[in-house]
Amino acid sequence: MKLLVSPKSLEEAKVVVKHEEVDFIDCKNPREGSLGANFPWIINQMKNLIQINSSQLLSATIGDFPNLPGTASLAALGAAVAGADIIKIGLKGPSTENECIFLMDKVVKAVKDYNKNIKIVAAGYADKIRMKSSPDFLSLPVIAAKSGADIVMLDTYIKDGKGLFDFLTIEQLKLFRDTAKELNLEVALAGNLRKDSLPQIKEIWPDIIGVRSLVCEGYDRINGMIKGNLIEELKAELYR
């Protein structure tokens, strides 16, 4: 299980990069939403923090996207040019499976035509019940596979203290994992994870766990700063 940590600034990224136990430095802007996008120069600056011989990779979010495939594909290409190794897009707006596949297909084409080695993440939301659109969690692996994405992810859309396990059970998440694995996809789980969520995460054992609040001072994803000691505590707990 690999660890993804989401810094919002260069200052935070400098803290995260120092910890080799962090596999993915995930550039995002929490003020713009669950998967809020940061600026391309911030992506580029974070990429330059990673040593050439390091195994760490830079991921970047491009937003909680409405059903705008052209805009999404341009945003994804922008993140690729800025230096992202992995690009995450939140499927907020598409309301049908076909709409989701069409959007993701264009994102994948835009990025893979530029660099076939960049991985694409199709992200959905465990708290879909609180949204007007977005695909059901079990349709996400199919959407990712049919569009040529590499990783399928579940997060939460509304950040109000409720997390992944407030909306989906361990059994549902294991089914999500198994469905994705049958389609040769990597699985990532995130969504306001707390320390008491970690035993459940370890039972599911996804390929990737994504966090921000959990390693921020005061558990505050917006105003709190990422702290190195909290990263160390998380990794120790995950592999205890």
**What are the catalytic residues?**
28, 88
Give the 3-state secondary structure of residue 24: strand
For tokens 């992506």, name the residue: 43
Phi, psi for 217 (deg, rounded to 5): -60, 135
CA separation for the pair 67, 135 (Å, rounded) = 12
Q: Is 191 helix (H, G, I), strand (E, B) or coil?
A: coil
d(CA 88, CA 72): 11
Helices (H), the chain: 10-17, 40-49, 69-82, 97-114, 140-147, 170-182, 198-204, 228-238
